Amino acid sequence: MLAPKRNFHLLLFISAILFTHQLNAQDVYTEFDEIEVTATRLNSSLLNSSRSVSLIEKARIQNATQLLAMDEVLAGVPGLYMQNRYNFAQDLRVSIRGFGARSAFGIRGIKVIVDGIPETMPDGQAGVDSIDLGSVNRIEVLRGPSSSHYGNAAGGVIFIETESGSEPGFIETTFAGGDLGYGKFQLKTGGQNGRLNYLVNTSKQTLDGYRQHSKSEGALFNGKFDIRLNDSDNLKFTLNYTDQPESQDPGGINIGQVTTDRKSPRDRNLSYDSGEALSQKRIGLVYERNNPEGKLTVRNYYVNRDFSNKLPFKNGGSVNIDREFYGFGAQYEFGESLSDRLSLVMGFDFDRQDDDRKRFNNDLGKIGSLTFDQNEKVNSNGLFLQSRYELGSWSISSGLRYDEVKFDISDHFLSNGDDSGEIKFDAVSPSLGLNYNLEHGSVFLTMNSSFETPTTTELANPDNSGGFNASLKPQKANNIELGYKYAMDRLYYEVAIFDIDLQDELVPFELENLTGRTFYSNVGKSSRTGMESLMSWTLKPNFVFDASYTWSDFSFDNFIDKNNEDFSGSKLPGLPQSFAHFAFRYINENGLNATYNFNYSGDLYANNANSVKVNSYSVSNFRLSYQVNKGNWSILPYMGMNNIFDTEFNSNIRINAFGSRYYEPAPGRNSYLGITFTRSM
């Protein structure tokens, strides 16, 4: 809950400013009343939602950046901080209000959902390597704890909707290339054929990288088929295939090596050929029946993922995981049987994960003898209820969810003993929101909670044996926030202030004999207070200015580590106290599209002790395109430049890395060119 002495005056001051401005506002911008938020399960308009929600539409996704990684697209979302664009072996590090910051690789603590199908596994681990931004239509981001909606690992939600086919149909081809060995090919087609709407997209991307030993290669296929069965029934079928045969990991280096040669890898990463390879197949089905009595949504999916990874040490340094995760869920939103003032949805999620995990010795890049062999199963079951009651200008939202997450290990490597066993966690996650509609916007107050279990990888024992680290517990958070959304002619902005109390936060550490592998422990308590702001202003019909700013104070209140070192009062490492984004876009009727964006990241700490500070930096990027239409053909050449002013900064900071190897330097100025051909059919 909010600490009164620390936050009362801040809340009062900001509230007074917001209400004073409201009295002087003119010219309501009614478009925002019509923008629908779907990630909250119980749909509402953007202004009527009692949540901090950010929306990114197709034009800002596909026509404003290089699309090398998702952080380019989400850079303007307040409260969301991202690192690691250039290391595809570690995946993008995404944090929302501090959730996910601990991740050594992949995404933790944040739910990722694509076309209604979870990309986050039952244990709470997610990745974005199978998401092709070239076919994304819309992204919604729920900022802050959302476990009452989505259960485990929902410190925030990234809800992605891919494109549907257009009418008339089209076929589109893109060729692009540039510095750092960048190359991309994309082929996309879509249309409407009777009751069938379809969109198929395939792409291949290569990147040599800025640093030595950072090459990556990947191909994606994404298909979406929407079948209108009758006036009330609809079936959506999605297919996704990912193949990444090579993603090298140059590793983190110390400040001395950064000063000497920013492009150099860590020597052990080079010697042990660190990196990963993966392939993934995903099938998803979403059935909807929508009639006056109510709306039924049923989902079913299956994912198979084959993953191999080489870490920079010998003993167990080669990992192979044959993974399956699948699930079934349903929700029902009541219709005419309820009062017009009341909206109600209830449902369940059943998700399963089955990992065959083996570890082998890494003999200087060659796979050696077997050292670890176990099957890991995760069962996640959740029941939820969401409601909203409207009374004049007021609306009250509430939610309740119960989750049970069970981890079960069967040890098949018995020469060092049988480490089989199981652990079960459960949690009840409530939420309550209050929204008041003003003439030109809305004010909301919301209270919600989240819980987050360790993932199967994070449950590993620090002694490098099999089984679970039974001392680990889920982290739990309580959040309260006050927000204001304002819309007038050509202007939209929002402000939110929040306070989060978090128990048993999971934090990473490395061991001297296993550097390159990360383990986890719980701390007693931490607190997170912050302010997020966002503005979008259309200065003229063709000129748009976007800005966002985030300030936060994330601290350990009570933290004594395994070595009995007291870090109480330290700031959470890996996160800046403030960061900002500014973007100018010019689009005219003749096909010219120019975008300039500026990103600022403040100082941050690299370790729990806060003894190593990483300085602030700012980076500017530019993209220019010009569309020419000739009959059924459209030709779109484009060019872009990243890091225009050649700033030296780090694309990632490895938190608490042993040997002070915190830094992964980012490239300097680099550019790219591309051309897209589109033909209407």
- Containing structural domain, residue 472: 4-680
Question: What is the gyration radius of the CA atoms in the chain, in angstroms?
Answer: 24
SS3 10: helix
The pLDDT value recorded for residue 101 is 81
Say which CATH number the domain at 439 has.
2.40.170.20
How many Å apart are CA 160 and CA 143, to the nearest integer?
14
Q: How confident is the model at residue 465 (pLDDT cuts 50, 70, 90)?
A: low
Better-scored residue on pLDDT, 208 or 101: 208
Q: What total of structural domains would you count in the chain?
A: 1
Q: How confident is the model at residue 67 (pLDDT cuts 50, 70, 90)?
A: confident
Locate all alpha helices (DSSP H) within 261-378, ordered by sequence: 267-271
Is 367 within 8 Å of 318 (Cβ atoms)?
Answer: yes
The pLDDT value recorded for residue 488 is 84
Per-residue burial over 171-203, b = 16 or more CB atoms within 10 Å of its CB, e = otherwise: ebebebebbbebbbebebbbbbeeeebbbbbbb
Is 613 within 8 Å of 602 (Cβ atoms)?
Answer: no
- Summarised one tens digit per residue, pLDDT across range 623-655 is 999 999 999 999 999 999 999 999 999 999 998
CA-based nearest residue to 209, from 246, 177, 245, 182 = 182
Q: How confident is the model at residue 368 (pLDDT cuts 50, 70, 90)?
A: very high
- Summarised one tens digit per residue, pLDDT across range 111-150 is 999 999 999 999 988 888 888 889 999 999 999 999 999 9
DSSP letter, residue 667? P
DSSP letter, residue 566? B
The pLDDT value recorded for residue 320 is 96
Q: In the chain, what percentage of residues exceed pLDDT 70? A: 93
| Whether pLDDT at 252 is above 60 | yes
Is 246 within 8 Å of 216 (Cβ atoms)?
Answer: yes
Mean pLDDT of the chain: 89
HSE value, Cβ hemisphere, 13 Å, CA-based, for 150 = 29
Q: Residue written as tokens 């990963």?
A: 276
CA-based nearest residue to 211, from 279, 253, 265 = 265
Is 355 within 8 Å of 389 (Cβ atoms)?
Answer: no
